[in-house]
Every structure is written in C-alpha cells, then in structure tokens.
Structure 1
Amino acid sequence: MRVSLIQLEVDLSVPAADRLAEAAELVRGRAGDHLVVLPELWLAGGWDYARWDEDAEALDGPTARTMADAARDAGVWLHAGSIVELGPDGAHYNTSLLIGPDGLRRAAYRKIHRFGFDSGEAALMGPGDEIVTCPTPFGTIGLATCYDLRFPEMFRLLLDQGTEVLVVPAAWPARRVEHWRLFARARAVENQVFVLACNTAGEQAGLAQGGHSMVVDPWGEILAEAGTGFQVLTAEIDTALVAKTRADFPVLKDRRLGR
C-alpha cells in the first residue's frame, strides 16, 4: 500500500480558511494513495492556546466536512490530523479524525495524554478515555497523538486491540526532535507494527517545530523520513510484514505482565 504523510508548515498568520482549503487540495492531489495523514492541530495550532476557543468545532464541523469531501474526491483513507473539538459537554478535546474513501468518519480519538504539566494543553483540554482502533482493508489502524508516544503502556493496549499500523499525528517541537525519532522507532519495535508519524514544520507561537515525519517498519527500520520544512513524504509499505515479523521473531508470545 502507498501512504503519504503531509508535513504541513503551520503558519498561523495565514487565515485558517485559506490553510484549510490548501490542505484539502493537497489531499485531493494524493489520489492513488491508500492512506494520507495530516499532523496534529494543523489548523488551530498546537501551541497557540489563545486561538483554541475561537477555533473549536464539533466533530461534524467545517474541518471535518472539508476533509471528508477531499478524502472522497481523492478516493483515499484520510487521517485528518486533529482538531480542537468542542464536545457536547462544552469541554475542549484534542481529537483526531479517520475518514474513509467514501467520506464517512470511521473513527475519532480524543488524545489521552495532554502535554503541559498542569498548564497549556493539560489545563485547557479534557482527557480522552478510550483506546481507538479501526479495521481497514489494509489492516487495523491504531490511533495515538504526539505526547502519547511517551507512554508505552498505551501502545500495548492498542496492540491488544489488533493494531497493525499505528498512526501518530504530532506538533512535536524541534528541541526534542531526537526523542520523537527515538519513540517512533521504539513503539514500532516493541509492538511489531508499522508507525506512521506525521509532525508539523515551521514555527508556532514562537516555537520551532521538529518536522522529521517518519514511516517506520515493524523491525524499527525507517523507510522514509522528512526534513524540517513542508514535505509530502510517500512510502510503499506491505502490511503483511507485521504478521511475518511476529512469526519470525515471536517476542510478543513471551509477554507475562499487563495481559
């Protein structure tokens, strides 16, 4: 299968409507791919907290509708990154959306681990409480977001729900980009899954973003890696390698804890 990670350079000085239209056209340009992935909070900004009240929207809001149209037009599965969701309870959530090639939402995941140590996202967003996976024609996708990568116990739960391809949108800063690269590979190796890790580029609220989106195979090999600017990173993956890796090196059979 062919996957594309669209490493957007998030420029919050550009009107959100223009950036939304541009992202939709980039998705439409990926016709022929099987799965396309966008980064975390690419429209509202992962670090510009002052915008979140203004940019919060429902799961069926303008971002979701625009991305659904783009996925349908391109005929692709689309992980549309994440939005600031305005929940029915009035709280905000960092929520990622998985859309099918028919334009229907197939899954939504509210980020469980919020960054900020009691400030920023941790104070302004509600926590998710569900492990989310979704069956697709090319394997079961498991959903996680950015800071989640630091919590390996979450990925064991995703593994136990059948995950074969892990999709991780992010707004990971440049100053910790080596952690990003390390964790993406570690989660692939320890769970014997593909990891599609899509980061942002550019600068948000004065904070340089790390880029280095990656496609990692179940052995931890980096099949493709972006630089630090805007880039569409495309790779061919064979999801049959997940079962083969687990058969050739059946380390998961020796688990004793957490099951």
Structure 2
Amino acid sequence: MRASLIQIAVDGDEPVDARRARAASLVAEQRDADLVVLPELWPVGAFAYESFAPEAEELSGPTHAAMSKAAADAGVWLHAGSIVERAPDGRLYNTSLVFSPSGDLAATYRKIHRFGFDKGEAVLMAAGDDLVTVPVPGLPLGLATCYDLRFPELFRGLVDAGALAFAIPAGWPARRGAHWTLLARARAVENQAYVLACGTAGTHAGIAQAGHSLVVDPWGEVLAEAGEAEEVLTVDLDPARVTTTRDQFPALKDRVLGTSGC
C-alpha cells in the first residue's frame, strides 16, 4: 500500500477557496497512491479561532464537494483532514472527512480532545464522543486528530476496534515539535500499528507550524519525515508488518488494565 501525506502550507493571506482548490489539485495528482492524508483544519488554520464561525460549513459543504471529486479523480482513499463543521443544532465541531476511491463519504470523526485549556478550540467547539475506524482494504484505519495524540487510551480503543494504522491530521505548533515526533512514535510502539501523522506548514494566526509530518512503522521506526515547508511525503507500507510485529513481540496479549476482564 502506498500512502501520501500532503503537508500543505496554510497562509492567512490565501483565500480559503483558493487553498481548497489548491489542496484538491494536490490530491488529484496522487494517482499512484492508495491512501492520501491531509492535515487538520487546513481550510482555515488550526489557530485561526476568529475564522472558525465565519468559515464553518455543513458536512455537505464546499470542502466535501472539492475533496470528493479529488478522491474520485485520483482513485484513492482520502483522509481529507478536518473542517470546522457547523452541525444542524448550530454547534461547531472539528470534523474529519474520509472519502472512498469513488468519492463517497466513507466516515466522519469529530475530534474528542479539544485543545486550549478553557479557551480557543476548547470553548469554540463541541467535543465528539465516538471512536471511528475506516475499513481501508488491508489496513483498517483508526481516526484521531492532533491533540488526541496525547491521550493513549483513545488509541487502545481504536486497536480494540481493529485498527492496524492511525491517521492523525494535525495543526501542531513548532514550539512543541519535539512532542509531535515523540508521541507519534510512542503511539506506534505501544499499539504496534502504523502511524500516519500529517501536519501543516506555514503559520496559523501568528503560530508557526511544526511541519515534520511522519510515517512510523509498528516497531517505532520512522519510515519517512517531512521538513518544515509544504511537501508531499510518499511511503510504501506493508500491512503484514503489523501482524508480524504483533506475533514476534506479543505485548498486546499481556494487557491487564483496560481489558474486559479487569
């Protein structure tokens, strides 16, 4: 399986419609990939809080339309990153969209852990409460978003739901970039699963982004890592690597806390 992570640059001076069209063009170019992943809140910027409400859209909004077409044009599974979703009740969510190679919406995930410590996203957006996996052939995906990366129990739940890989779009700040790579590797090692961690480049509302999107294998080895600028990171994955790792080092079988028997 070939995966491409599109570390798109977010610049507040670029109109959202223009960035949406540019992202769709980048996705459509990934015809040699099986799976493509975009970052968190790339249409508006993860820290551009003042834009959340004005740029919020329904699930069937303009980002859905652009990404559905791009997935179908490329013939790929597309994790289209996340949008500011305006729900029918008016609440806002940080919602990921995943499309099948035919362009159909295969899954949505509302971010469970909101960042901000009682400000920013934590007060502007409602929290999701569902664990979501996507039956990508050969490599079932568990979905998480940015700040979720700091909460290992979410990933344990995704493993129990059958995930062999985690797709983690993010808008991770440069000043905590070391945590980004450390936590991505930790989630891979402890769950013996692939981690596809796709961040943004550029600056969101004055917050420099870490970039450094990375793909980590089930043993914790970094297979590829981007730099700080806009970049497409493409990696070939072997789904059998998950099974082999879990068979040769069966640590998951020794779990006690958090299992149904405890």
The aligned residue for residue 155 of structure 2 is 155
In the aligned structure 1, how far is the partner of 2:152 from the partner of 2:206? Answer: 30
**Corresponding residue pairs, total:** 259
- Match of 2:21? 21
TM-score scaled to structure 2, two decimals? 0.98
Partner of 1:41: 41
4+ residue runs over 4 A deviation: none
Q: 1:150-190 deviations in whole A, cap 9, x for unaligned?
A: 01111110110000010000000000000000000000000
**Partners of 1:136 and 1:207 in 2: how far apart?**
34
Aligned match of 2:180: 180
Q: 1:250 aligns to what?
A: 250
Q: Are 1:128 and 2:128 counterparts?
A: yes
Q: Which amino acid aligns with 1:107?
A: A
1:123 is paired with a residue of what secondary structure?
Answer: helix
**AA matched with 1:66:** A
Letter matched to residue 176 of structure 1: R
The offset of 1:32, in angstroms, is 1.6
What amino acid is aligned across from residue 194 of structure 1 in structure 2? Y
| Gap regions ≥5 residues in structure 1 | none
1:195 matched to 2:195? The reply is yes
Paired-residue identity, %: 61
| Partner Cα separation in structure 2 for residue 11 and residue 231 of structure 1 | 15
CA offsets, 1:20-70, max 9 Å, x none? 111000001001200000000000110011111111001111101110000
Aligned counterpart, 1:102 = 102
Name the CA distance, whole Å, in 1 between partners of 2:11 and 2:239. Answer: 34
Structure 2 distance, partners of 1:159, 1:89, is 32
Q: Deviations over 1:188-237 (max 9, x none)?
A: 00000000000001111111000000000000000000000100001111
Q: Distance in 2 between matches of 1:200 and 1:66?
A: 19
1:3-152 equivalences in 2 (<5 Å): 3-152=3-152
Secondary structure of the structure 1 residue equivalent to 2:141: strand
Partner of 1:210: 210
Alpha-carbon distance, 1:138 to partner: 2.2
Residue 228 of structure 1 is matched in structure 2 by 228
Superimposed CA distance per residue, residues 121-142 of structure 1 (whole angstroms, 9 cap, x where no aligned partner): 0000000000000112122100
Q: Secondary structure at the match of 1:90?
A: coil
What is the distance in 1 between the residues matched to 2:70 and 2:230? 20
Which amino acid in structure 2 is aligned with residue 30 of structure 1? Q
Alignment partner of 1:81: what SS?
Answer: strand
Q: Distance in 2 between matches of 1:32 and 1:88?
A: 37
Match of 2:82, SS state, is strand
Secondary structure of 1:136's aligned partner: coil
> One-letter code of the match for 2:130?
E
Q: Secondary structure at the match of 1:244?
A: helix
RMSD between aligned residues: 0.6
Stretches of structure 2 that go unaligned for 5 or more consecutive residues are: none
Q: Distance in 1 between matches of 2:201 and 2:32?
A: 25
Q: Secondary structure at the match of 1:202?
A: strand
Letter in 1 for 2:224: A
> SS state of the match for residue 10, structure 1?
strand
Kindly provide the amino acid, as one letter, of the partner of residue 141 in structure 2: I
Amino acid at match of 1:106: A
What do the CA deviations read for 1:67-101 (whole angstroms, capped 9, x no partner)? 00000010000000000000111100000011000
Q: Which amino acid aligns with 2:162?
A: G
Amino acid in the other structure paired with 2:140: T
